[in-house]
Structure 1
Amino acid sequence: MDIKDTDADLITHTGFHFHVRRAVPKDEAIVADFFKHVTPADVRFRFLSGMKSVSHERLVEMTSADDPKRVNFLALSSDQTLLAVAMLAVGKDPQRGEVALTIREDYKHQGISWEMLAHICRYAERHNFKSIESIESRDNHEAIELERDMAFHAHSDPDDPRIIVLRRDFQQ
């Protein structure tokens, strides 16, 4: 995936300004600090596991800039506070991606998730993705509602009734 056009200055419906850029290895410390401001439930929702903290290996993965099948996005405020982290990864089919997004607890309900996900959708569409999916816990009501509002369609996971897969298709 081309990572040249990941950057954007965005404004939410509440008037909050922030900048999105791709993560690089030197961001590991700010991403580690970010997860200190994320609820345990949101960590569970992000990784679909019961882990209590994010390991060094995960942080390295989240800040890698040289994985051709994954782009990690960071949303930063004007004072460089990390507000949200997101990942867009390609699987076996290079025209289909998976997205995951996490936001700091103290910055929720300002429209950041909406603008961040919209930015990732625009990025995916520019790069000729046919679709992107988000794999959510059925308990993650806020994410499911957001994704449905953004034209993602829900599908049950036949292998795990605790999971719902939401997919957004792009016109080619």
Structure 2
Amino acid sequence: MCNVTEILQPTKTVRKVTTREGVALDIRLADEHDEAALTALFAQVSDEDRCFRFLTAAPCVTSAQIDPLIHTDHFHTESFLAFDQATGHPVASALLACDRAMDTAEIAVSVRQDYRGKGVGWVLLDLLSDEAHMRGVGRVISIENRANRATIELEREKGFIARAVDGDPALVMLSKSFR
């Protein structure tokens, strides 16, 4: 079992939003002080979703997996944390990672198990797309395990187009162009 402490959000809100299901969120940039918050969050992400996100079946995320989420350059990479306004607890993480040429950005979203189906993923997918577009990126991509049907369907509903990943029949790449 992962060692998790209760984490409440600091007051560095970037965006306040309400999901289609009425969940009020404060979204802010993640930073080097958020390792405990991210550990707590990923302890409450389903085993299957954690495996999809980190491509490992480990019961806990490691510091090495969290490090890229808390040490970004705020240009090519950006990491966001979403907190439930009512409780102050972290409920989702979103990562944007642009290539050096700023042509393509890979995105990743993880949502706490008890917040899935409440519009949190929709909000964060929109946020990442907006951030990539504002940076001048031409397209965003998401590489998903084919078994991750819920995420693939969500991304398709948001205008992403799926195609096979050469050499790996278990994966699919979804992309959305801005140009």
TM-score where L is the length of structure 1: 0.91
**How far apart, CA to CA, are the structure 2 residues paired with 1:57 and 1:48?**
14
**Percent identity of equivalent pairs:** 30
Q: What whole-Å deviation, never above 9, does each CA across 1:112-132 have from its counterpart, x for those lacking one?
A: 100111111111111111000
Which residue of structure 2 aligns with residue 8 of structure 1?
15
Bigger Cα displacement from structure 2, 45-54 vs 162-171: 45-54
Letter in 1 for 2:145: S
Matched ranges for 1:78-117 at <5 A = 78=85, 79-117=87-125
Mapped contact 2:82–2:92 kept (Cα < 8 A): yes
Query: Where in structure 2 are there 5+ consecutive unaligned residues?
Result: 1-12
**How far apart, CA to CA, are the structure 1 residues paired with 2:125 and 2:66?**
21
Mapped contact 1:74–1:82 kept (Cα < 8 A): yes
Q: What whole-Å deviation, never above 9, does each CA across 1:10-32 have from its counterpart, x for those lacking one?
A: 11111211011110111110101
Aligned residues: 166
**How far apart, CA to CA, are the structure 1 residues paired with 2:172 and 2:14?**
30
Which residue of structure 2 aligns with residue 144 of structure 1?
152
Mapped contact 1:25–1:65 kept (Cα < 8 A): no
**How far apart, CA to CA, are the structure 1 residues paired with 2:76 and 2:56?**
22
User: CA separation of 1:8/1:168 partners in 2, compared to 1, >3 Å: closer, same or farther?
Assistant: same
Instruction: Find the residue that maps to 1:114 and give its secondary structure.
Output: helix
TM-score where L is the length of structure 2: 0.87
**How far apart, CA to CA, are the structure 1 residues paired with 2:107 and 2:147?**
18
Q: CA RMSD in A?
A: 1.5
Instruction: Find the residue that maps to 1:26 and give its secondary structure.
Output: coil
**CA drift at 1:65:** 3.8
**How far apart, CA to CA, are the structure 1 residues paired with 2:152 and 2:47?**
18
Which of 131, 136, 139 is the matching residue for 1:128? 136
Answer yes or no: is 1:75 the counterpart of 2:82.
yes
Which residue of structure 1 aligns with residue 167 of structure 2?
159
Letter in 1 for 2:175: R
Mapped contact 2:102–2:136 kept (Cα < 8 A): no
**CA drift at 1:92:** 4.1
